[in-house]
Structure 1
Amino acid sequence: MGSSAGEVVLVTGYPRLPARRLVAHILDHEPDTQVVLVVLDKLLESARLRLAELDQPLRRRVQLLEGDAAAMDLGLSGAEYRALAATVTRIHHLAHVSYVGVERQTAEYTNIQGAVEMVELGRAADRLTRIIHHSTAHVSGDRTGIVYEHELDEGQGFYSVVHETRMKAELVMRRAMMELPISVVRPTMLVGDSVTGQADRFDGPYLLVMLVLGLPGDMAVPLPDPGDNLLDIVPVDYVVRAAHAIGLHSDAASRTFHLASHEEVSAQQVFDMIARAGGRRTRRTFIPTQLASAVLRTPGIERLVHEPRAFMQQLTCTARYNTRNTRRFLRDSGVDCPPLESYVNTWVSAVQQHLRRRRGASLAALPDDDPLL
């Protein structure tokens, strides 16, 4: 599981896109580092196929273990767990449930218990230098105004059990910061790769694109109401680079980082950009949240999203995310978030291609919790 002298990084959440991108980034930028993946049995074949895409020299530095990041000892054998605890130096914990509408029991097990197991592994790992817990800025729930990175449980309500349990997972990490070197990263609205457009879940901000594409072709796209709320959208490639740099920074332990775009872009401007990229006209009237949710349930689209109402509610949220820690620690790293306008065409094109493929498939056979949808 790696030599005693080299770095060994555990990554959970594989083969979802953020974990894949992170693994590739680590292998490219740390030539002496070994990577260990703990993957659910039902996702092993998909994980093997993704790893086969790597060049052989890179692939030899990855160890794939069958397990469960939320199970006791990560679902590993005693020998596997002891070997991992003896060698691991960094942990990037990305495994979580994100599809809205998930049963509470599943969300609590994966999100909260997963955090508990990472802390337990950290306590057993003599060589540990950092746990990087990948959370979300939406642990702020229904808060308004400026949200600071050090804030967490402020009595806020939540739009879904997903965000509630991810906040509670952060509480687990926050309590353990007194004894373990832990950093928490909180991306805002996450989309796919800004260069390739690749994504493995078409939810969250993608619902805006589906809303535009789901309206009749001869209908001008009305803007969401209210259109002056600011939206903060970040691509996965930026989040991966930022989380990797934070994980390597010697002074970043015991801190939380909002990974935001720093753009002052309103919902109206985002809608305009999406409409133009999709070849659609916009008009200066507003679409009520209820109507937007109805459009997202039209045939051919409703099976591609799980619960649009929660996201449409987020559009009315006025929270702003302070990024003092992120700005400070990434100032000289060369890691910057690309502006939305530079990749919106790629983003919209990816959704158009996805919709074309899905319209020709039997969507009724797709499970609601399909992790690769």
Structure 2
Amino acid sequence: MGHIYFFTGFPGFISNQLIRELIKQDEAVDKVYLLVLPEQMGKAEAEIKTIESELDGAKVLFQLGIGDITKENLNIAVPESQSLQQEITHVFHLAAIYDLAVPEKIAQLVNVVGTKHVNEWVKGIPNLVRYTYFSTAYVAGNREGDLFEHELVLPKSFKNHYERTKYDAELLVEQLKSEVPTTIIRPGIVKGHSKTGETIKFDGPYFILNFLDRLSFLPMYPYISSERETVVNLVPVDYIIQATAYLALYKEGVGKTYHLTDPSPCKATEIYELFVGELYKKKPKGHMPMAVSQAFLSIRPVRTYLGVEKEALDYFTWQGRFDCTKAQADLAGSGIACPNFKDGVPAMVEFYLRNKNEKRYQIKIR
């Protein structure tokens, strides 16, 4: 029997790239069913045509279906749903709100209620080989120190509603492991492709590039200093895609949770130096206290002008370190390894400079 995939989160960038990678790695894939919101159907159809043009002889059938994870039974008519469940062998749940400034109600509806509905639907699949859930390493919230893949510990607090709702959602999936063959993927902060720099939105580390670009008139670029030296775990999307595809098909991956994080992340000051150096061929000079930066970003017109979400600064003072021993061990021999962040900076900055004025890349700052 061939593999029949079911995806949520299409036509999002990570989902469409993951589909391409799975087709490369899995010779048994026959069909891919894609659950799509009605307003995304036009974009989804265009993306499928692009994927089909790249198949290079591989025979894979794609089927688009309208649905909504925030509705019971994914808003799929019961007869169609039951028929579909008889076919599916692999489920990839990627649909979520990936936004540090997301309002609580929206995050709760999509990330938690949506995952609850997907879980219930998955339990009705009789021939399920694997359920792969896309979480985040930042379910750790404000816990610090060494953070391990086997842990899912409720922290005293979270930095934002995104983290809290992803924790709650992962908890639901974790509870499903005893009933369903499940693999949980926890990426670090995802950045663009390590070689091409390609991404779909300028968030995360790109907020630093926005900040530096919009203050390009300054005679110098001060460090944003903090009393706490931190590392920031930035991971290129190509590593996330390749590793997820491999681990989702890896037989011993059932029941495991993986940190797809950089085993040797850069310090926050190193990242800042690399960006200033690549943009302006200079080194940062002087210091701006973190408290001053936070005060400025609490003023909406300022953060809108700078293109920086105020929540992003929390990740430059937080001192958590992700242990990814299990992921590294299970990827050993696959040829898949996290690229060095420093090596990817030129491509990252070049892509940013080429597209910084394109509205589709810049996210709305609240």
TM-score by length of 2: 0.90
1:124 is aligned to: 124
- Count residues in correspondence: 359
Q: Deviation per CA, 1:128-147: give whole Å up to 9, x if none.
A: 11111111111111111111
Q: Provide the C-alpha distance between the structure 1 equivalents of 2:311 and 2:195, rounded to a whole number of angstroms.
A: 28
SS of 2:102's equivalent in the other structure is: coil
CA distance 1:230–1:101, shift in 2 (3 Å):
closer
1:217 is aligned to: 217
Deviation (angstroms), 1:368: 6.7
Query: Is residue 197 from structure 1 mapped to residue 194 from structure 2 by the alignment?
Result: no
SS of 1:63's equivalent in the other structure is: strand
The amino acid of 2:47's aligned partner reads: R
SS of 1:131's equivalent in the other structure is: strand
Give the stretch that moved more between structures: 260-269 or 235-244: 260-269
CA distance 1:367–1:263, shift in 2 (3 Å):
closer
Q: What is the aligned counterpart of 2:18 among 22, 31, 49? A: 22
Deviation (angstroms), 1:299: 7.1
Deviation (angstroms), 1:17: 0.8
Q: 1:140 touches 1:156 (CA, 8 Å); kept in 2?
A: no
Give the stretch that moved more between structures: 24-33 or 325-334: 24-33
Give the stretch that moved more between structures: 68-77 or 334-343: 68-77
Structure 1: gaps of 5 or more residues: none
**1:108-187 alignment to 2 at 5 Å?**
108-187=108-187
1:41 is aligned to: 38
SS of 1:338's equivalent in the other structure is: coil
Query: Is residue 53 from structure 1 mapped to residue 50 from structure 2 by the alignment?
Result: yes
The amino acid of 1:16's aligned partner reads: G
1:229 is aligned to: 230
The amino acid of 2:273's aligned partner reads: D
Q: What is the aligned counterpart of 1:6 among 2, 26, 33? A: 2
Q: 1:211 touches 1:292 (CA, 8 Å); kept in 2?
A: no
SS of 1:143's equivalent in the other structure is: coil
SS of 1:193's equivalent in the other structure is: coil
The amino acid of 1:344's aligned partner reads: V
Structure 2: gaps of 5 or more residues: none
Q: Deviation per CA, 1:274-330: give whole Å up to 9, x if none.
A: 11221252334333334445379797972785x622110111000000112111111
Deviation (angstroms), 1:168: 0.2
Q: 1:137 touches 1:188 (CA, 8 Å); kept in 2?
A: yes
Q: Provide the C-alpha distance between the structure 1 equivalents of 2:298 and 2:44, rounded to a whole number of angstroms.
A: 31
**1:257-336 alignment to 2 at 5 Å?**
257-292=258-293, 294=296, 302=304, 305=307, 308-336=309-337
Q: Deviation per CA, 1:209-261: give whole Å up to 9, x if none.
A: 11221213343222232373111110111101111111111121221111111
Tell me how large the CA RMSD over aligned residues is: 2.5
The amino acid of 1:82's aligned partner reads: Q
Deviation (angstroms), 1:165: 0.2
Q: 2:263 touches 2:323 (CA, 8 Å); kept in 1?
A: no
Percent same amino acid among aligned pairs? Answer: 23
CA distance 1:159–1:59, shift in 2 (3 Å):
farther
CA distance 1:61–1:236, shift in 2 (3 Å):
same
Q: Provide the C-alpha distance between the structure 2 equivalents of 1:249 and 1:8, rounded to a whole number of angstroms.
A: 16
Deviation (angstroms), 1:114: 2.0
